[in-house]
Amino acid sequence: MKLIFLGPPGAGKGTLADLAVEKLKIPHISTGDLFRAAVKEGTALGVKVQGILASGGLVPDELTIALVRERLAAPDARSGWILDGFPRTIPQAEALESFAPADQVVNFEVADDVVVARLSTRRVCRACGKIYNIRSMPPKVAGLCDACGGEVYTRDDDQESAIRTRLETYRRQTEPLIAWYGARGRLVTIDGVGEPSLVLERFDAALAGAR
Ligand code: AMP
């Protein structure tokens, strides 16, 4: 199954993808995680995108499309994937359609005030990328990842000014994809507000209904 998770930053796409891949046995591919790994490793791509990520803007389509195309060609992506954070523009969606069309697009609906509240309390493991929230899903030991013991930190782009930029970018560049995929008959929308286990139930029901 080839799935796209669509929705604003902080909609819970990454958290839900981590839960869903355990059941579906397909990889969770997050372009944000791929870019952050490149920054951390100091690769040529990482050097190029570091400032863009910190500001909350979008990496140019050509770079992003090339990265995804290469990742989807890996052996573990043969039987399916969950794409989280891609596509984010119509040209990215058109490109994906040409080399790996998705079966279903899941749109997570979450209001702006919920997004801002979630992102300002979100924390992420620097080593493995596991997502926490200091209010609703804190690590067992403050500052340390439950899964790998890595440092749990606040992403640069989860600072308030970048959060606003990312939301504006989402509304302008990414939200049009809802109508784009809707017109192609592959969109299901679910309410993204609530405990992850509840959102997972809605996700399962939406997928069963879409089949
Ligand atoms: P995310 O982890 O999905 O919130 O992504 C973090 C950042 O990575 C975004 O704010 C963008 O700067 C960059 N990024 C991730 N995915 C894309 C994409 N599909 N197109 C352009 N930039 C992206």
Q: Tally the domains of the chain.
A: 1
Domain interval for residue 34: 2-210
Instruction: Name, of 128-137, 159-168, 174-183, 201-210, the range with top average pLDDT.
Output: 174-183
CA-nearest residue for atom 2, ligand 1, is 32
Q: Is the pLDDT of residue 137 over 80?
A: yes
Q: Is the pLDDT of residue 85 over 90?
A: yes
* Per-residue confidence (pLDDT) for residue 156, from 0 to 100: 87
* Per-residue confidence (pLDDT) for residue 160, from 0 to 100: 84
* Per-residue confidence (pLDDT) for residue 211, from 0 to 100: 67
- Which pLDDT tens digit goes with each residue over 180-192? 999 999 999 999 9
pLDDT, averaged across the chain? 94
Asked if residue 31 has its Cβ within 6 Å of ligand 1, the reply is yes
CA of 11 to the centre of ligand 1 (A): 14
Asked if residue 85 has its Cβ within 6 Å of ligand 1, the reply is yes
What's 171's domain CATH number?
3.40.50.300
* Per-residue confidence (pLDDT) for residue 161, from 0 to 100: 83
Average pLDDT over residues 96-120: 95
Query: pTM score > 0.95 for this model?
Result: no
Q: Is the pLDDT of residue 90 over 80?
A: yes
Please spell the DSSP secondary structure of the chain, one letter per residue.
-EEEEE--TTSSHHHHHHHHHHHH---EEEHHHHHHHHHHHT-HHHHHHHHHHHHT-PPPHHHHHHHHHHHHTSGGGTT-EEEES---SHHHHHHHHHH---SEEEEEE--HHHHHHHHHTEEEETTT--EEETTTB--SBTTB-TTT-PBEE--GGGSHHHHHHHHHHIIIIITHHHHHHHHTT-EEEEE--S-HHHHHHHHHHHHHHH-
- Which pLDDT tens digit goes with each residue over 10-29? 999 999 999 999 889 999 99
Asked if residue 129 has its Cβ within 6 Å of ligand 1, the reply is no
